[in-house]
Amino acid sequence: MRTLDLLRLTGLAAIWGASFLFMRIIAPVLGTFPTAFFRVLLATVGLLAILLAMRARWSFDGKLGACLVLGVVNSGIPFACYAVAAQLLPAGYSAIFNATTPLMGVLIGALFFAEKMTGAKLAGVCFGLVGVALLTRTGPVAFNMELLVGALACLGATACYGLGGFLTRRWINDRGGLDSRLVAFASQAGATLAMLPLFGLSVAIEPPTSWGDGTLWASLLALGIGCTAFAYILYFRLLADIGPVRTLTVTFLIPPFGVFWGVLLLDEPLSWAYLQGGTLIAIALWLVLKPAPAEPEPDIPTEVRTSGLEPERRTP
């Protein structure tokens, strides 16, 4: 990858790592669906302002519907899942579980998108599952039903992210591509439309005991504008430039940032389980994402090479 792409990945990891910190502040006060709804609503408004300021060309080339549905898969459902996890788990846990996104991408790609499942990828999935199990069993949070529900919510979110990467490639990028800013805006708008009735229903049935203070709403602004609106512009640009699997390598870098922000600003405990489980997941990601060995060139007889009839060589 180019140096610029690596810088984008690192910046995206720092921003998304901070999102777990903000959700830990917001979700226990507002609840699941209000947190997810305000996040995507603020992201939609922020992206609209960015597009208007940049005088973007409003042309979806017939892909608006696909972008709206993509937003439900890639934002609405995962954000609700992580809001559930934020009420049950430290930010560091959610950030480390988030690193299973490429593993989910491998499984979903093999099951539904005819992606090849190699031995290395299968071993990577196994290492990742062991890392998740190690973290849940030996981490600083006691193993109980709340921890299990939070972990499953995180894994549900990463499954959506894995699926979203392939849907973006099939629906958006394989048909000529689309301005990444428009994809980000339309996807957040679709997530907002999907979350709106759930938000209204949750508030009607069980309204939050408090709507928070200035710190909470400042965290919401940071979560919606910085960690979502701006971050998704980076994310969709990377998907278009380097593809879904390489873009998902951002999850290598999110766990250290997520743990760091939680320890620094929320006084969350450090644990060797973070290092142990995170290392196993990192090994899993390396196995899943390492380049496949190049196929050997065919052995062409000397008389064929010198006759001018050598077959055309194609780059894999």
The HSE-up count of residue 158 (CA atoms within 13 Å, CB side) is: 28
110, burial (CB in 10 Å: exposed 0-12, middle 13-18, buried 19+): middle
Task: Label residues 301-313 b or e (16+ Cβ within 10 Å = b).
Answer: eeeeeeeeeeeee
Question: Rounded to whole angstroms, what are the CA distances from 180 to 14, 58, 245?
Answer: 20, 12, 17
Alpha carbon distance 195, 133 (integer Å): 31
Confidence class of residue 38 from pLDDT cuts 50, 70 and 90? very high
Reported as a single tens digit per residue, the pLDDT across 280-299 is 888 887 887 676 665 554 45
119, burial (CB in 10 Å: exposed 0-12, middle 13-18, buried 19+): exposed
Side chain identity at 152, as an amino acid letter? L
Question: Rounded to whole angstroms, what are the CA distances from 226 to 11, 49, 223, 230, 231?
Answer: 11, 13, 6, 5, 6
Side chain identity at 161, as an amino acid letter? Y
Average pLDDT, the chain: 84
Side chain identity at 195, as an amino acid letter? M
Residues 286 and 102 sit within 8 Å (Cβ to Cβ): no
Confidence class of residue 30 from pLDDT cuts 50, 70 and 90? very high
DSSP 4-35: HHHHHHHHHHHHHHHHHHHHHHHHHHH-HHHH
Alpha carbon distance 249, 13 (integer Å): 10
Reported as a single tens digit per residue, the pLDDT across 307-316 is 444 444 444 4
Alpha carbon distance 282, 295 (integer Å): 26
Residues 156 and 81 sit within 8 Å (Cβ to Cβ): yes
Average pLDDT, stretch 119-145?
82
Reported as a single tens digit per residue, the pLDDT across 225-250 is 999 888 888 887 887 788 766 776 77
